Amino acid sequence: MKKFKDYEKLAIFAKAMAHPVRLEMLAHLSAHDYCYTGDLVDVFPLAQSTVSQHLKELKKAGLIQGKICPPKVRYCLDEENWKIAKELFEAFFKQKNV
């Protein structure tokens, strides 16, 4: 059966993951439970604004969440969507028939 709707969603997740820096960020969050923007600024050789922009992309796709903890912002994986993404990718690669 056609699952175009799923592909829309899957494409959004794939797009968020379509950059090495964002994959590193996700991996970092997967490994560390949470982190602040500044932590990532220290890790990547990128301007603070660029790191922030990548985080925004990940948040837009729903893969991460940001919680304001003044004066910082604490990011963590969005476990629910992370699970959905995992399942969509799994299903996509599993399928071998319509």
Partner DNA sequence: ATCGTTTATCGTAAATAAACGATGAATTTT
Partner DNA sequence: AAAATTCATCGTTTATTTACGATAAACGAT
Binding site for its own copies (CB under 8 A): 3-4, 7-8, 10-11, 14-15, 17-20, 22-24, 26-27, 30-31, 82, 85-86, 89-90, 92-93, 95-98
Query: In sequence order, what DSSP letters do the residues of the chain get, joined into one string?
Result: ---HHHHHHHHHHHHHTSSHHHHHHHHHHHHHS-EEHHHHHHHSSS-HHHHHHHHHHHHHTTSEEEEEETTEEEEEE-HHHHHHHHHHHHHHHH----
Q: How far is the CB of 70 from its own copies (least distance, A)?
A: 28
Judged by beta carbon distances under 5 to 8 A according to partner kind, the member of DNA, its own copies, none in contact with residue 62 is none
One of 23, 27, 72, 91 touching DNA (CB under 7 A): 72
**Residue 11 to residue 1: CA distance in whole angstroms:** 18
Lookup: tokens for 61: 């796709």
Binder of DNA out of 10, 55, 58, 88 (CB under 7 A):
55
**Partner from its own copies, DNA, none binding residue 78, C-beta < 5-8 Å depending on class:** none
Any contact of residue 57 with DNA (CB under 7 A)?
yes
32 touching DNA, by CB under 7 A: no
